[in-house]
A and B are shown apart, each in its own frame.
Chain A
Amino acid sequence: MKRPEPVHVVKQRREGLLRTLVDAVPYIAFLGIRFDRRGDELTAVLPYKEELIGNPVLPALHGGATAGFLEIAAMIELSWSTLWDGVEAQGALPEGPLRLPKTIDFTVDYLRPGLPRDAYARARVNRSGRRYASVHVEARQDNRARLFAQATGHFLMPPAESPK
């Protein structure tokens, strides 16, 4: 029987994949989004900052900040879940730069005002084909049962790596 890999090797590989997907995108840094990882489960976190406000009177998060957060959460989950099996099997990241999927359309449903607090989002890939994928994403703040926004998007997958 094959010996299990040391946990630090596994963590390093998985964190490496996540970092490769996330760190290269300036817009993710602009919004300040980070990702919590537990095994293959990702939670996108949008730490509150004043720059995200769209209605200073309430105050409430800008609908555009919420849309951007949901789109990033959906896109990263889609890439992550597509690459996961290969990276786990190979024990290494694919060669060359990783291309993110392209958004075809994105529909955001605003359920209640975004509070001036941290927000969390989890995405679910409902269908992932060779060319197209459909992803649903839900966002919450203080209360796990009360979504403040949800979205569905369609994505065009990056061309598959040509076999070496």
Chain B
Amino acid sequence: MQDRDILTIARQFIEALPHSRALGMRLEEMGEGWALLAMPYDRKLVGDPQTGVIHGGAVSALMDTASGAAVLCHPQAGFSTATLDLRIDYMRPATPGQTIRARAECHHVTRSVAFVRAVATDDDADRPVAMATGAFTIERGAQ
């Protein structure tokens, strides 16, 4: 029950971020140092009108939010984080009409920096749409 309360609070926190809300993001699952976010298909996010494929920028925003959420879920993190850098590799266009999910995980955390990896998929979860690696700040005084 307690885990569900934490998930509810975390979900409200993520969904209260204006840009994440504008993109329709939802926090689906989380654990220590990882988070899974979903972004439903929406025509207003299309980058290629001829195919209806979502723009890479919206996928970047999903990856960035998932990565930030993974950092905030880490026991060493504080209540805030900021992106230092984020690299995204776009492996294939996301299939139009399908929800995109990003799972981000802190793979190493120091006193000042969290190194995060994230994978984005659509319904065909075996073939990633995009992958990301990033560095995020750990706010001082968090420990």
Within 8 A of A (CB), among B39-63: 43-50, 54-58, 60-63
Distance between Cα atoms of A108 and B50 in the complex (Å):
27
In the bound complex, residues from chain B placing their C-beta under 8 Å from that of A110 are 82-86
Whether a CB of chain B sits under 8 angstroms from the CB of A92 is no
Candidates B20, B50, B58, B90; contact of A68 at CB < 8 Å: B58
Chain A, 31-67, CB within 8 A of any chain B CB: 31, 50-57, 60-65, 67
Residues of B within 8 A of A52 (CB): 18-19
Q: Name the residue among B20, B46, B56 with the largest chain A CB count within 10 angstroms.
A: B56
| Those of B54-80 within 8 Å (CB) of chain A | 54-58, 60-65, 68, 80
Task: Give B93 Cβ to nearest chain A Cβ, in Å.
Answer: 8
Within the complex, which residue of B19, B62, B86, B89 is in contact with A51, where a contact is CB–CB below 8 Å? Answer: B19
The verdict on A83 contacting chain B, using a C-beta distance below 8 Å, is: no
Q: What number of residue pairs across chains A and B have CB atoms under 8 A from each other?
A: 132
Contact assessment for B85 and A109 in the assembled complex, using a CB-CB cutoff below 8 Å: yes
Docked complex: A80-133 residues within 8 A CB-CB of B: 97, 99-100, 102-110, 113
Interface of A, secondary structure class, is mixed
- Cβ of B22 within 8 Å of any chain A Cβ, yes or no, is yes
Which DSSP category, helix, strand, loop or mixed, fits chain B's interface? Answer: mixed
Check A56 against B44 for contact (C-beta < 8 Å): no
Contact of A99 among B50, B58, B65 (CB under 8 A): B50
CB contact between B48 and one of A53, A61, A100 (< 8 Å): that residue: A100
Q: Chain A's nearest CB lies how many Å from the CB of B89?
A: 5
Closest to A58 in B: B80
Is there an interface contact between B19 and A27, defined as CB atoms closer than 8 Å?
A: no
Number of interface residues of A (CB under 8 A): 39
Cross-chain contact A53 with B18 (CB below 8 angstroms): yes
| Contact of A10 with B by CB under 8 A | no
CA distance A100 to B90 in the complex (A): 15
Complexed CA–CA distance, A30 and B39 (Å): 15
| Chain A proximity of B118: nearest CB distance (Å) | 12
Q: Does A163 contact B (CB under 8 A)?
A: no
Give A contacts to B, CB under 8 Å. Answer: 24-27, 29-31, 50-57, 60-65, 67-69, 71-72, 97, 99-100, 102-110, 113
Q: A65-B61, A105-B90, A108-B87 are in contact. List 9 more A-B contacts (CB 8 A).
A: A25-B47, A25-B48, A27-B54, A54-B68, A100-B47, A105-B87, A107-B85, A108-B85, A108-B86
Chain B residues within CB distance 8 Å of chain A: 16-20, 22-23, 43-50, 54-58, 60-65, 68, 80, 82-90, 93
Instruction: List 16 A-B residue pairs with CB atoms under 8 Å apart, sorted by A's residue number.
Output: A29-B44, A30-B22, A52-B18, A52-B19, A53-B19, A56-B16, A56-B17, A63-B68, A64-B19, A64-B23, A64-B58, A64-B63, A69-B57, A105-B87, A105-B90, A109-B84
